[in-house]
Amino acid sequence: MDHHRVAVTASTIAARSQRILARSVRIAIIAVPVVFLAVFFLYPVAAIIGRGLVPRGALDLDPLGSVLTDPGLRHVAWFTVWQAALSTILTVALGIPGAFVLSRYRFRGRALVRALVTVPFVLPTIVVGAAFSALGITGSVGAILLAHIFFNYAVVVRTVGGLWGHLDSRPEEAAQMLGANRWRTFVGVTLPALRPAIIAAASIVFLFCFTSFGVILVLGGPRYATLETEIYRQTAQLLNLPVAAALAVVQLAAVLAALSVGSWARGRRSAALGLRAASEVTKPPRTAGARAFLAANLGLMALLLGAPIAVLVLRSFAPGLDAYRQLTHPGSGFLDAPIQAVWTSLRYASIATVLALLVGGAAAFALAQAHRSKRRSAWLLDALVMLPLGVSAVTVGFGFLIALDSPPLDLRTSPAIIPIAHALIAIPFVVRVMLPVLQSIDPRLREAAAMLGAAPRRVWMEVDLRIAARAALVAAGFAFAISLGEFGATLFIVRPETTTLPVAIYRLLGRPGAASFDQAMAASTILMVLTAASVLVIERLRVRDVGEF
């Protein structure tokens, strides 16, 4: 009896220890993203807003009023809104047909086309600006709209196509059998089913256009300023922190609204019914009309997405290899040869990728667990990890300089500040890639492992971690590409000895003379090749169509 009591007591203590350990691990996993984002995101952003709106310890809302009363600032805010709205409408209108052909038609080279369509989305904004500069259409609203469509076309194709490729086609076939033509079938049957995905894609596109920096800076010039470029001007050139902080608050409010719409739409999309395997939905284009529609959309993709890239590459080789050779020689404004920025960017991208995977991966695991447990705190953590995606990169970069200026966080002169800033912007992409995979894990796998005697830690390692490993590699590819192209925050915190490739391109574009422009085209081509290689690796490793990017 005593031996039995001792065994029961030991078993109870062991079970309690396992529960305590599991709870400690959960707390640690949640603490990693919360602490990182609190220190390196919330604190710097709060510091710059506080420095501007609470200059002497008392709240001063006059700068916020000036955004509404000053004609110049009001014009900037209005232009930011309507160009983002128009860019979104045009991108969605052009992207929906592309989403259809890539999600419903099976044809040779489809996987390659999907990968190539994604390349513009991960291209650095400064490269997009350089590509359209090579076309000679800078300094106009049309150039800005075209660049935004070029940049965000893949968002619509991948987000809407991700749902369209799994929709049951039988309701559409039934509607056509009852006499509805293709247009009425689309409006009455398909469009309502796609509405959550379209709204989610539109909210993301609006967010990117609303906070666009590199495209506006290169193509818009001083005449077409947005809130993002105006924040940069007020901080870097005029040192007017109150107005910059007020603009950041206005921008943050719009970003939160767009994120809320996107979060609601994602929830509606995940609850969609009537989904089938993609292999059951896709089919070859059998009719002449279907083949013509496919050819027309492939032609549009080649013209819209391929022409700027082709012109960029051809322009870089216009003087032969001279532009590439000149990158190996030091020039004015550079401490070392511009080509050194390639190795600097690769080094920082590698470090930022590791940081983003650690923090974003922990956030994804915590969110998946919170959603399984239906905890109300899930939406708060989700909003926190998504905020860096929409908050002004300029605000974050300048906030770093203001907030991280004293021990133990005096990082203003530290090279570590650059990969930290890059990781911040990559974390939302890591979460959005990994979270759907983690949520798709069958809970019966965990239950079976637990019934076989595996401890919670062993279950997590053998089930969750193994299944999420491939998604983590895809997320790493996105993080690497995003770090390579990050420009807004880097422009503030970069030093001559830590110049990254996007900053080098911007400086080359700002120097007079055809030789500097040719070098900018050559450097942009190198950066484009690096990011395109990352995309091809992502597509090779992608877990079917799981993930939001």
* Domains along the sequence of the chain with CATH: 65-316 (1.10.3720.10)
User: Are residues 78 and 66 in contact, defined by beta-carbon separation less than 8 angstroms?
Assistant: no
Q: How many CB atoms lie within 10 A of CB 412?
A: 15
Structure tokens at 193: 């089913």
Residue 492 and residue 398 in contact, taking contact as beta carbons nearer than 8 Å: yes
Report in angstroms the alpha-carbon separations of 157 from 255, 284, 289, 434, 464: 22, 19, 21, 20, 29
- The ranges of the chain with pLDDT < 70 are 1-25, 52, 55-57, 168-169, 173, 180, 262-281, 331-335, 371-379, 390, 440-465, 539-549
The DSSP output letter for 302 is I
CA distance 446 to 272: 25
Distance CA 97, CA 160 (A): 10
What is the C-alpha separation between 62 and 60, in angstroms, rounded? Answer: 6
Strands (E), 218-345: none
For 41, 121, 134, the CA distances from 520, given in Å and listed in that order, are: 31, 20, 10
Q: Read off the tokens for 282.
A: 């896709």
Q: How far apart are CA 474 and CA 433, in angstroms?
A: 7
Q: Is 456 exposed, middle or buried (0-12, 13-18, 19+ CB in 10 A)?
A: middle
- Size of the chain, expressed as the number of residues it contains: 549
Q: How far is CA 158 from CA 295, 382, 510, in A?
A: 19, 21, 35
How confident is the model at residue 273, as a pLDDT? 46
The pLDDT of residue 90: 95
111: three-class secondary structure by DSSP: helix
Tell me the pTM: 0.78
As a whole number of angstroms, the distance between CA 338 and CA 333 comes to 10
Predicted local distance difference test score (pLDDT) of residue 24:
66
Closest CA to 282 of 26, 459, 531, 110: 110
C-alpha span between 83 and 99 (Å, rounded): 23
Which residues make Cβ contacts (< 8 Å) with residue 4, sequence separation at least 6?
none
Name the DSSP class of 331.
-
List, in order, residues 6 or more apart from 329 with CB less than 8 Å away. Answer: 337
State residue 431's pLDDT score: 87
The pLDDT tens digits for 198-222 are: 888 888 899 888 888 888 888 877 7
pLDDT at 148: 92
The amino acid occupying position 329 is H
What is the pLDDT at residue 505? 85
User: Which residues are CB-neighbours of 315 under 8 A, at least 6 positions away?
Assistant: 134, 518, 521
Residue 130: predicted pLDDT: 78
> 3-state DSSP: the chain helix, strand, coil percent, rounded to 5?
80, 0, 20
